[in-house]
């Protein structure tokens, strides 16, 4: 198991989620591809902008773009079969993608010798940024900011790595497993952060 393999799973999961939401909103073929690609790579692009890395570095990921395009194509032309498996495994692969991308984003910031705060931001943006952009473009309230506990796990990964509490290979894989498990538990057990609604008559 390598980080590249985990990135492939995350790319597939995020690209499919973007494509499915685009189809739910009745986007045309071009819209489905654009939303799928944005979901898969939007987080990394925003991260690069904020930490001073040229966004053009994303174009070096030719293999991942191909994988994302193939995934979107399968979903668009074979929606029944794709959705049947997505309903069963979608949240799990999304949890893997969140954990893998959050850790990779944090490690990327650490390689640039950035402070802990920047490492946490890089983890959150890489793990959650694509989903935020996806929901905004689809005219939906971003899932990251409501209901389910999602971004918290990316913050936790960034903090642990930024404080150098996990440094060697086995610790990184252990962190990946823990973050994935916590994300799975949060949606299977309906964990939610507290929220408060303002009174209607103010």
Residue pair 80/36 in contact (Cβ under 8 Å)? The answer is no
Contact residues for 155 (Cβ-Cβ < 8 A; gap 6+): 120, 123, 124
- Which pLDDT belongs to residue 147? 64
Tell me, what's the pLDDT at 195?
76
pTM: 0.83
Q: Looking up tokens 């990964």, which residue turns up?
A: 157
Identify the pLDDT of residue 122.
Answer: 92
Determine contact, residues 157/179, Cβ cutoff 8 Å. Answer: yes
CA nearest 152: which of 164, 139, 143, 165? 143
Which of 117, 177, 127, 188 minimizes the C-alpha distance to 152?
Answer: 127
How far, in Å, are 77, 122, 148, 154 from residue 176 at the CA level?
Answer: 33, 16, 19, 10
- The reported pLDDT for the residue numbered 2 is 54
Output the DSSP codes for 171-184: HHHHHHHHHHHHHH
Supply angle C-alpha 193, 95, 137, rounded to 5: 75
E-only strand ranges, the chain: none
Segments of the chain with pLDDT less than 50: 1
Nearest Cα neighbor of 55 from 125, 5, 116, 8 is 125
CA dihedral sign of residues 136, 143, 118, 16: negative
């Amino acid at each position: 198991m390598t980080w590249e393999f985990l990135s492939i799973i995350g790319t597939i999961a995020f690209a499919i989620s973007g494509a499915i939401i685009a189809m739910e909103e009745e986007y045309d073929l071009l819209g489905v591809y654009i939303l799928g690609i944005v979901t898969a790579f939007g987080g990394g692009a925003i991260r690069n902008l904020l930490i001073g890395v040229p966004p053009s570095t994303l174009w070096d990921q030719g293999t991942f773009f191909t994988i994302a395009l193939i995934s979107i194509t399968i979903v668009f032309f074979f929606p029944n079969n794709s959705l049947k498996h997505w309903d069963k495994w979608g949240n799990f692969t999304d949890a893997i993608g969140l954990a893998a991308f959050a850790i990779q984003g944090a490690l990327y910031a650490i390689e640039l010798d950035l402070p802990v705060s920047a490492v946490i931001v890089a983890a959150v943006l890489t793990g959650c940024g694509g989903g935020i952009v996806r929901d905004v473009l689809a005219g939906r309230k971003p899932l990251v900011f409501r209901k389910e506990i999602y971004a918290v796990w990316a913050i936790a990964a960034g903090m642990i790595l930024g404080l150098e509490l996990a440094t060697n290979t086995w610790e990184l894989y252990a962190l990946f497993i823990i973050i994935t498990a916590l994300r799975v538990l949060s949606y299977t057990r309906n964990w939610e952060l507290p929220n408060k609604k303002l009174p209607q008559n103010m």
